[in-house]
């Protein structure tokens, strides 16, 4: 059976910093090597999207100015369909600015309150210092604890409400707010975090987890994700994790 998945890339011209576009490339390549056809749909301001036909979504990071340019379009044009899709288990990865805009609001350095989509029970307040550097978080993707590595660069401090669960525990780095030890939030099949780098090329196990979720959502439990080697990626990941954790 030939599988086809559709990925919506939200605002790629406005929300693409620190190599975030590499996440889409990683998803495409891991699909291609399995014979899965991944159609990438750029979502630009003013576009009309049938979210019921979308299996995966990616929302990258951006500067405050970039977020301000797309906030109205996100909420008013894409909001109803995207909210419904997320509640129907759309598989979504949101990084940094995209993560913030899925929450209730982002209060900037100037005190401006940018409204978010409100699908994640989080809110973000800009802090006085940037949280920059490599980060390692420990997550459970259903097969026991695993360590993911990334790079964070944000001044926004994101705080969780009761309707999300933490994505991972910070082993080194700052995480969502530099205080509670959590890195990212999960709601249904939506994952938000501050891990740039890009995240997915560095962490093929997460890439495969997202693809597997999307396949089962579209085609049912019989859609088994074929095993695919990732020796080089995982070796690089292990070296980076060991190097970072050795400091502490």
Catalytic residue among 9, 96, 160, 193: 96
pLDDT of 221? 85
How many domains in the chain? 1
pLDDT digits (tens, 9 = 90+) for 9-65: 999 998 888 889 999 999 999 999 999 999 999 999 999 999 999 999 999 987 766
Share of the chain above pLDDT 70, in %: 98
Exposure b/e, 115-134, CB count within 10 A at least 16 = b: ebbbbbbbbbbbeeeebeeb
Residue 138, C-beta contacts closer than 8 angstroms, at least 6 positions apart: 145, 146, 147, 148, 168, 169, 171
pLDDT digits (tens, 9 = 90+) for 79-128: 999 999 999 999 999 999 999 999 999 998 888 898 999 999 999 999 99
Question: Is the pLDDT reported for residue 204 higher than 90?
Answer: yes
Mean pLDDT of the chain: 94
* 31 a catalytic residue: no
* 196 a catalytic residue: yes
Q: Is the peptide bond before 198 cis (omega within 30 degrees of 0)?
A: yes
pLDDT of 42? 97
Exposure b/e, 14-23, CB count within 10 A at least 16 = b: bbbbbbbbbb
Catalytic residue among 14, 160, 196, 209: 196
pLDDT of 200? 97
Tokens representing residue 161 in the block: 């409400």
Question: Is the pLDDT reported for residue 247 higher than 80?
Answer: no
**Separation of first and last alpha carbons in the chain:** 49
pLDDT of 197? 87
Q: What are the binding residues for substrate?
A: 130
Q: What is the CATH number of the domain that holds 16?
A: 3.40.50.880
Parent domain of 36: 4-245
């Amino acid at each position: 059976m030939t599988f086809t998945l559709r990925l919506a890339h939200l605002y790629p011209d406005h929300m693409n910093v620190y190599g975030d576009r590499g996440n889409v490339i990683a998803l495409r390549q891991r699909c291609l090597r399995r014979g899965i056809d991944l159609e990438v749909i750029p979502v630009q301001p003013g576009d009309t999207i049938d979210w019921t036909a979308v299996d995966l979504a990616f929302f990258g990071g951006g500067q405050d100015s970039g977020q301000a340019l797309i906030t109205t379009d996100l909420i008013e044009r894409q909001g109803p369909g995207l909210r419904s899709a997320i509640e129907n288990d759309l598989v979504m990865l949101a990084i940094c600015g995209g993560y913030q805009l899925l929450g209730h609001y982002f209060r900037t350095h100037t005190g401006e309150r940018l409204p978010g989509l409100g699908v994640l029970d989080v809110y973000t307040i800009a802090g006085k210092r940037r949280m920059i550097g490599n980060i390692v978080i420990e997550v459970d993707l259903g097969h026991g604890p695993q360590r993911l590595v990334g790079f964070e660069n944000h001044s926004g401090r994101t705080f969780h409400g009761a309707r999300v669960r933490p994505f991972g525990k910070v082993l080194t780095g700052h995480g969502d707010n530099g205080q509670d030890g959590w890195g990212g939030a999960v709601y249904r099949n939506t994952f938000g975090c501050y891990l740039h780098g890009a995240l997915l090329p560095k962490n093929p196990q997460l890439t495969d987890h997202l693809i597997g979720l999307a396949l089962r959502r579209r085609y049912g439990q019989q859609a088994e994700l074929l095993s695919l080697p990732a020796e080089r990626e995982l070796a690089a990941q292990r070296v980076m994790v060991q190097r970072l954790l050795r400091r502490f």
